[in-house]
């Protein structure tokens, strides 16, 4: 299991980074990104803390742990600069909190995330055909999520992404220990989203591609 969207105590998660990683190891994870919520008010505090924590533990863990960030509820016009700043501060995976059905995310956020070349557009809700085609052009990955509430639009995202050939990954958006999942459960979430069994391995493989991409940035 590769999970590129999780949260620690550095934002609204329940676990310190070391416990989050240990629990992920126990679930059979091979890679995990800690992507705590950031905006312009805390970006310079949160990302360096994640980077520092993971440097301390990397020789003592069996999985690849990546420092990241989730740009959350930022005004669309700020997203490009925030993505750039997050990478400068050491985030290897930059996610943008997309236009989920269950939160009042500003319209235009999906588009701004794609325009900014975020690595992953998380839970993008009823993403438009125009934005789907733009994501394909820019190589931005869309997320299928196991997170309650955000998963309501999984069916739409999966159907339209497969239709237009947009890359997909599956993440947990974990905030607590109970949010972590096995690869088998991830497979069931993908099936429930309408992705055919013969396409599921492509989703898992794409997560590996994203991890490899972070290595090339080092």
Hey, which residues does 64 pair with through a beta bridge? 31
Quickly state the pLDDT bin for 193 (edges 50, 70, 90). very high
- At CA 92, angle to CA 29 and CA 88, rounded to 5? 160
Q: Give the pairing type, strands 120-122 and 141-145.
A: parallel
Quickly state the pLDDT bin for 45 (edges 50, 70, 90). very high
CATH of domain 2-216: 3.20.20.140
Is the pLDDT at 56 greater than 70? The verdict is yes
Residues 6+ apart with CB under 8 A from 10: 17, 34, 36, 46, 49, 50
Q: Is the dihedral of CA 181, 57, 49, 213 positive or negative?
A: negative
Q: Closest Cα partner for 39 from 81, 5, 98?
A: 81
pTM given for the model: 0.97
Percentage, residues of the chain above pLDDT 90:
97
Give the mean pLDDT of 35-61: 97
Is the pLDDT at 216 greater than 90? The verdict is no
Mean per-residue pLDDT over the chain, rounded: 97
Percentage, residues of the chain above pLDDT 70:
99
Q: How far apart are CA 31 and CA 24, in angstroms?
A: 9
Residue 74, Cβ density class (10 Å: 0-12 exposed, 13-18 middle, ≥19 buried): buried
Q: 127-157: per-residue pLDDT in tens?
A: 999 999 999 999 999 999 999 999 999 999 9
Is the pLDDT at 217 greater than 90? The verdict is no
């Amino acid at each position: 299991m590769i999970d590129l969207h999780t949260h620690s105590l550095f934002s609204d998660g329940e676990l310190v980074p070391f416990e989050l990683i240990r629990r992920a190891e126990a679930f059979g994870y091979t890679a995990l990104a800690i992507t705590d919520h950031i905006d312009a008010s805390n970006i310079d505090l949160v990302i360096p803390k994640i980077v520092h924590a993971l440097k301390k533990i990397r020789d003592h863990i069996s999985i690849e742990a990546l420092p990241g960030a989730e740009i959350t509820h930022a005004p669309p016009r700020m997203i490009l600069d925030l993505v750039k700043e997050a990478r400068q501060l050491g985030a290897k995976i930059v996610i943008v909190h997309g236009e989920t059905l269950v939160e009042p995310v500003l319209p235009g956020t999906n588009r701004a995330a794609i325009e900014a070349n975020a690595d992953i557009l998380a839970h993008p809700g009823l993403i438009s055909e125009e934005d789907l085609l733009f994501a394909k052009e820019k190589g931005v990955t869309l997320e299928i999520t196991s997170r309650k509430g955000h998963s309501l639009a999984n069916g739409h995202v999966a159907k339209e992404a497969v239709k237009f050939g947009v890359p997909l990954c599956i993440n947990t958006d974990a905030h607590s220990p109970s949010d972590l999942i096995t690869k088998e459960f991830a497979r069931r979430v993908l099936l429930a989203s309408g992705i055919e069994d013969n396409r599921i391995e492509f989703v898992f493989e794409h997560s590996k591609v994203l991890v490899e991409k972070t290595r090339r940035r080092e």
